[in-house]
Amino acid sequence: MTKELIIIGGGIAGLSAGCYGQMNGYKTQIFEMHDKPGGLCTSWKRKEYTIDGCLHWLVGSGPSSAFYRIWEELGAVQGRQMIEHDEFMRIEGKDGRIFIVYTNVDKLQDHMSELSPADSPIISEFCNGIRQFGNFQPPLLCLTYRRSNDLGSCLWWAVEDLNL
């Protein structure tokens, strides 16, 4: 008997569910109430402009990230160049001073401490938190990488990964 899967919503989650369903031998049907797929992750044309209403950065997009394998499985990253930006964003104060959110945590720490030397201890604590979190792999990936179906174990491993 053919296994069938009905998916409500053709956003990234629904489309991915459809792909994985088919990879696993299901006949899939996606029901989308809008006239195009994509959900929140979409763009549209208005006069001569393309409005990009969605992703500005993609978590786990580097090949060294565990998430990357999922993007590969879904065929989303093949042939695309991932660009690692040096700066995440810049905020300019009324006084003209600029706070740059560097993606390199050491650079960020130096920059923040330079802007506000008195806050160095808390900045150091904050940046150490970022360093620790940088090694975190989402629990979902435990399912893939540690070959477990037990969400409880995965969450436990996530806590271990964070070294809490």
Ligand X SMILES: Cc1cc2nc3c(=O)[nH]c(=O)nc-3n(C[C@H](O)[C@H](O)[C@H](O)COP(=O)(O)OP(=O)(O)OC[C@H]3O[C@@H](n4cnc5c(N)ncnc54)[C@H](O)[C@@H]3O)c2cc1C
33 binds ligand X (CB under 6 A): yes
| Contacts of ligand X in 123-162 (CB under 6 A) | none
51 binds ligand X (CB under 6 A): no
The residue count for binding ligand X (CB under 6 A) is 21
Name the packing angle between helices 105-115 and 120-133 (round to 10°): 160
59 binds ligand X (CB under 6 A): yes
60 binds ligand X (CB under 6 A): no
| Contacts of ligand X in 82-111 (CB under 6 A) | none
Return all residues near 29 (Cβ < 8 A) that are at least 6 apart: 4, 5, 6, 7
- Identity of the residue, 31 or 156, whose beta carbon is nearer to ligand X in the bound complex: 31
> Binder to ligand X among 41, 105, 115, 127 (CB under 6 A)?
41
Alpha-carbon span 6 to 146, nearest angstrom: 29
> Binder to ligand X among 5, 20, 26, 32 (CB under 6 A)?
32
> Dihedral angle at the C-alpha atoms of 88, 92, 98, 99, nearest 10 degrees?
-40
Identify whether the C-beta of residue 142 lies closer than 8 Å to the C-beta of residue 148.
Answer: yes
DSSP designation for 26 = E
DSSP designation for 100 = E
18 binds ligand X (CB under 6 A): no
9 binds ligand X (CB under 6 A): yes
Beta-sheet pairing, 87-92 with 49-52: unpaired
13 binds ligand X (CB under 6 A): yes
Residue ranges in contact with ligand X by CB under 6 A: 8-14, 31-34, 39-41, 53-59
